[in-house]
Amino acid sequence: MPVKGLGAYDDQNIFARILRGEIPCRKVFEDQFALAFHDINPQAPVHVLVIPRHRSISFADFTANASQAEIAGFFRAVGAVARELGLEAPGYRLLANMGEDSGQEVPHFHVHLFGGQPLGPMLARPAG
Ligand code: 5GP
């Protein structure tokens, strides 16, 4: 179910539990700022999620409330993950859902990293 509104950070959300090691993940990268792992329901041949260690509900929360070091460290980590996965030459797509209209489901900020094939149009056309 998409996240409705932006309440307080929920320490029991699935990505918080993955960060604490309570739930397994197929890890591809970690450093002091970020953890990256394969999406459980991939939408492309490569579909990796990169999440900050900072307790942020969303992109809006992260960019408003994380420190400069956490923000810079996180986005450097996203770049490092793409590089380490060999995606720079063929290219890749980054996507972050934010709030209800986007369909964000997990209330811990995350960036989707897609690659491994030509990715087609950026957005599906609305029906009608
Ligand atoms: P959102 O819609 O919030 O932007 O994306 C959430 C993503 O998290 C979805 O692509 C979904 O497949 C993925 N996901 C949800 N639960 C888990 C999980 O337990 N493990 C992993 N690896 N991915 C998950």
Indicate whether 31 belongs to any domain. yes
Indicate whether 54 belongs to any domain. no
CB 51 within 8 A of CB 34: yes
CATH of the domain at 72: 3.30.428.10
Q: Is the CB of 48 under 6 A from ligand 1?
A: no
Residue 23: predicted pLDDT: 97
pLDDT per residue of the chain (128 residues) written in tens, 0 to 9: 555 556 899 999 999 999 999 999 999 999 999 999 999 999 999 999 999 999 999 999 999 999 999 999 999 999 999 999 999 999 999 999 999 999 999 999 999 999 999 999 998 887 77
Q: Point out which residues pair with 113 in neighbouring strands.
A: 48, 94
Residue 7: predicted pLDDT: 80
Indicate whether 2 belongs to any domain. no
The full 3-state SS of the chain, as one line of letters, equals CCCCCCCCCCCCCHHHHHHCCCCCCCEEEECCCEEEEECCCCCCCEEEEEEECCCCCCHHHHHHHCCHHHHHHHHHHHHHHHHHCCCCCCCCEEECCCCHHHCCCCCCCCEEEEECCCCCCCCCCCCC
The domain containing residue 111 runs over which residues? Answer: 17-44+59-115
Indicate whether 86 belongs to any domain. yes
Indicate whether 126 belongs to any domain. no
Tokens of 38: 């394969």
pTM of the model: 0.95
**CA 53/CA 31 separation, integer angstroms:** 9
Indicate whether 34 belongs to any domain. yes
Instruction: Domain count for the chain, please give it.
Output: 1
Pocket test for ligand 1, best of 49, 109, 113 (most atoms within 8 A of CB): 49
Q: Which atom of ligand 1 is nearest to the CA of 97?
A: 4
Indicate whether 40 belongs to any domain. yes
**CA 16/CA 108 separation, integer angstroms:** 7
Q: Point out which residues pair with 49 in neighbouring strands.
A: 37, 112
**CA 120/CA 55 separation, integer angstroms:** 33
